[in-house]
A and B are shown apart, each in its own frame.
Chain A
Amino acid sequence: DARVTQTPRHKVTEMGQEVTMRCQPILGHNTVFWYRQTMMQGLELLAYFRNRAPLDDSGMPKDRFSAEMPDATLATLKIQPSEPRDSAVYFCASGLTTGITGELFFGEGSRLTVL
């Protein structure tokens, strides 16, 4: 079965360290979303790519977060320096958007804990 793959699944790090999360979208999908989920804020959109171009990263703290798609098979979300408030589950989702379609699937998430 095709699936969105995220690594790492779990990450514990100390404040100030750099964290990189990776996402392999489903082959052939042209849109990628990064979300952060916390109990307090729910699901927050951080970044949205279509055909590898960033369309919306307004939800992302620009001073410490960055998102890229170096190629069609890899999306990255980087936090530098990390802070305890960044502790959350980070989800990547990929989809196929020619017009609007129903194909939009999530990875299993990366649970980040910043001490």
Chain B
Amino acid sequence: AQKITQTQPGMFVQEKEAVTLDCTYDTSDQSYGLFWYKQPSSGEMIFLIYQGSYDEQNATEGRYSLNFQKARKSANLVISASQLGDSAMYFCAIHGFQKLVFGTGTRLLVSP
């Protein structure tokens, strides 16, 4: 079975500051992938970043980076230099060989 835990229902950050969104996971699969998606108020699910379980380096995509700590089973998303447009729901997900399982999400609000 796979499980994602996002313990922060909401986060606030000021524009231009960095913010970390927490994600811990549990899985019995040896090989798996970790994803972060952004869902703005318009509703679409936007892929942000991916980390494979065997990737030794942390994934980065522009202002997004994934702080992958395999031994602690954590995959936190770091957004550097927050922008107003980053205000949205953020979902962490894990994909093993059977399912893609999502966490409950964190709502991020970026203030001017």
A-side residues, CB < 8 A to B, are: 33, 35, 42-43, 45, 48, 55-56, 89, 91, 93, 95, 99-102, 104-106, 108-109, 111
Query: How far apart are the CA atoms of A48 and B101 in the complex, in Å?
Result: 11
* 6 cross-chain CB contacts under 8 A: A45-B99, A95-B95, A101-B50, A104-B33, A105-B47, A109-B44
Q: Which residue of A lies closest to B50 (CB)?
A: A102
Contact, CB under 8 Å: A43 / B102: yes
With contacts A42-B105, A48-B100 known, is A106 near B33, CB below 8 A? no
Residues from chain B with Cβ under 8 Å of A104 in the complex: 33, 35, 47, 50, 95, 100
Contact, CB under 8 Å: B53 / A42: no
Residues from chain B with Cβ under 8 Å of A109 in the complex: 43-45
Contact, CB under 8 Å: B50 / A48: no
- Shortest distance from the beta carbon of A2 to any chain B beta carbon, whole Å: 12
Query: Which of A91, A101, A104: most chain B CB closer than 10 A?
Result: A104
Sort chain B's interface into a size bin.
20 to 34
Which of A43, A48, A55, A99 is within 8 Å of B31, CB to CB? A99
The 9 closest A-B pairs by CB, nearest first: A102-B50, A106-B45, A100-B33, A43-B102, A108-B44, A42-B104, A100-B31, A33-B100, A105-B47
Query: How far apart are the CA atoms of A55 and B51 in the complex, in Å?
Result: 23
- Besides A45-B99, A104-B50, A106-B46, 9 new A-B residue pairs in contact (Cβ under 8 A), listed by A number: A43-B91, A45-B100, A48-B98, A91-B45, A93-B100, A100-B31, A100-B33, A104-B35, A108-B44
